[in-house]
């Protein structure tokens, strides 16, 4: 609940600032927003974070709240929600460009969104279009793909991926859509080892961050993944998994492996003991400690 309160406070603060400093809908030519995104997080496939962090993004904009009737404050709440959902740095969007109410927001074109929010603009546009449609035609399945197809052929590098919704060639081509899970039956020994991973599409991107770096980056960016892992002793590098399965799912998403579990993740973690990337913390469940060969986790190294 603290996170929600904090977010509301930040919205209120931004709201106050803009009320005093901006004029309505002055849209400057925005510089590249990608460069402002934290590189560590920019590659995360984060389409479905709500599934791994229940409660974090569960407050979706419902159909009964049609965007054209939003107040300016609600527009900002929606913006903040979008940033949270897609793990985009709030600094990436000039909020003063969205000092508009719902009616004005809905009248903005695709180009307006792109001008106002740069590379994030299309995401906001698609999200808003979806909301408008779902409110207008409740019960009708809306496909964002239709919007993308009908739009001008723009080339925007997306800072994150939406593998379950958007085509991979428009977003990050390094991640393919998650394949359907076709778990081999435990009773069939032939398929047990030969298909140990359900479906692994060859990836074009190089091997990304290692598991321990992935864990480290979550710890160093708690505002992006609240409640997944927390420091137990920041100085000694001791940390604890709060939502072990959620972290495993997030790791699985990054590796395009929908069958990742904490059991498997923890096995990989235990291999780090030998390499002294991690040290054992005896007697404490879900607790690990960075070892001498782990880099970049100390505050002095940041």
Partner DNA sequence: GCTGATTTTCCTGTTT
Partner DNA sequence: TAAACAGGAAAATCAG
Output 86 or 216, the one with its CB closest to DNA: 216
- Per-position x/- string for 255-284, each x denoting binding to DNA as judged by CB under 7 A, each - no binding: x-x-xx-xxxxxxx-xx-x-x----x-xx-
Element (H, E) at 13: helix 2-21
The residue range among 4-12, 89-97, 130-138, 207-215 that interacts with DNA, by the rule CB under 7 A, is 207-215
H/E stretch holding 287 reads: strand 287-290
236 secondary structure, DSSP code: T
Q: Binding mask 29-68 vs DNA (x if CB under 7 A, - otherwise)?
A: ----------------------------------------
CA 235/CA 83 separation, integer angstroms: 31
220, 231 Cβ separation under 8 angstroms: no
| Binding of DNA by 207 (CB under 7 A) | yes
Q: Which of 202, 299, 301, 302 binds DNA (CB under 7 A)?
A: 202
- Measured between alpha carbons, how far is 63 from 74 in angstroms, rounded to an integer? 14
CA 165 to chain centroid, in Å, comes to: 14
30 vs 161, beta carbon nearer DNA: 161
Give the residue, chosen from 38, 135, 198, 226, that forms a contact with DNA under the rule CB under 7 A: 198
The CB density around residue 269, as the number of other CB atoms within 10 Å, is 17
Cβ proximity to DNA, 147 vs 287, nearer residue: 287
Within 10 A of 211 (CB to CB), how many other CB atoms are there? 17
Q: Binding to DNA by residue 295, rule CB under 7 A?
A: no
DSSP state of 171: S
Q: Judged by CB under 7 A, does residue 194 bind DNA?
A: yes
Q: Among residues 133 and 241, whose Cβ is nearest to DNA? A: 241
In this structure, what token pair is assigned to residue 81? 């929600």
CB of 120 within 8 A of CB of 93?
A: yes
| Least Å from the CB of residue 2 to DNA | 23
Collapsing DSSP states into helix, strand and coil, what is residue 45? strand
CB of 119 to DNA, least distance (A): 24
CA distances to 36, 194, 206, 214, 217 from 40, rounded to whole Å, are 12, 34, 15, 9, 7
Binding part of the chain for DNA, among 31-39, 71-79, 80-88, 204-212 by CB under 7 A, reads: 204-212
- Answer whether 110's CB lies under 8 Å from 122's CB: yes
Give the footprint of DNA on residues 216-255 (CB under 7 A).
244-245, 251, 255
Instruction: By CB under 7 A, name the binding residues for DNA.
Output: 183-184, 186, 192-198, 200, 202-203, 205-207, 210-212, 244-245, 251, 255, 257, 259-260, 262-268, 270-271, 273, 275, 280, 282-283, 285-287
């Amino acid at each position: 609940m603290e996170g929600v309160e904090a977010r509301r406070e930040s919205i209120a603060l931004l709201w106050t600032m803009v009320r005093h400093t901006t004029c309505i809908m002055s849209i400057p030519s925005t510089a590249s927003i990608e460069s402002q995104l934290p590189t560590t997080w920019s590659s995360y496939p984060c389409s479905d974070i709500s599934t791994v962090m229940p409660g974090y993004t569960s407050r979706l904009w419902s159909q009964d709240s049609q965007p054209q009737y939003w107040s300016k404050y609600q527009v900002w709440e929606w913006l903040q929600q979008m940033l949270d959902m897609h793990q985009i740095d709030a600094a990436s969007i000039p909020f003063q460009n969205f000092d508009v109410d719902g009616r004005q927001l809905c009248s903005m074109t695709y180009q307006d969104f792109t001008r106002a929010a740069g590379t994030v603009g299309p995401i906001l546009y698609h999200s808003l279009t979806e909301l408008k449609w779902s409110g207008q035609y409740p019960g009708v399945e809306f496909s964002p793909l239709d919007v993308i197809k009908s739009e001008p052929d723009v080339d925007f590098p997306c800072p994150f991926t939406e593998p379950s919704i958007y085509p991979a060639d428009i977003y990050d081509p390094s991640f393919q859509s998650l394949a359907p899970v076709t778990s081999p039956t435990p009773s069939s020994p032939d398929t047990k080892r030969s298909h140990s991973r359900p479906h692994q599409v060859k990836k074009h991107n190089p091997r990304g961050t290692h598991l321990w770096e992935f864990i480290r980056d979550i710890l160093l960016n708690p505002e992006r993944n609240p409640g997944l892992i927390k420091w137990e002793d920041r100085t000694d590098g001791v940390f604890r998994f709060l939502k072990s399965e959620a972290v495993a799912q997030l790791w699985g998403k990054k590796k395009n492996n929908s069958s990742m579990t904490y059991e498997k993740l923890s096995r990989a973690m235990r291999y780090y003991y030998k390499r002294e990337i991690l040290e054992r913390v005896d007697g404490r469940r879900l607790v690990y400690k960075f070892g001498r060969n782990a880099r970049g986790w100390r505050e002095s190294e940041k």
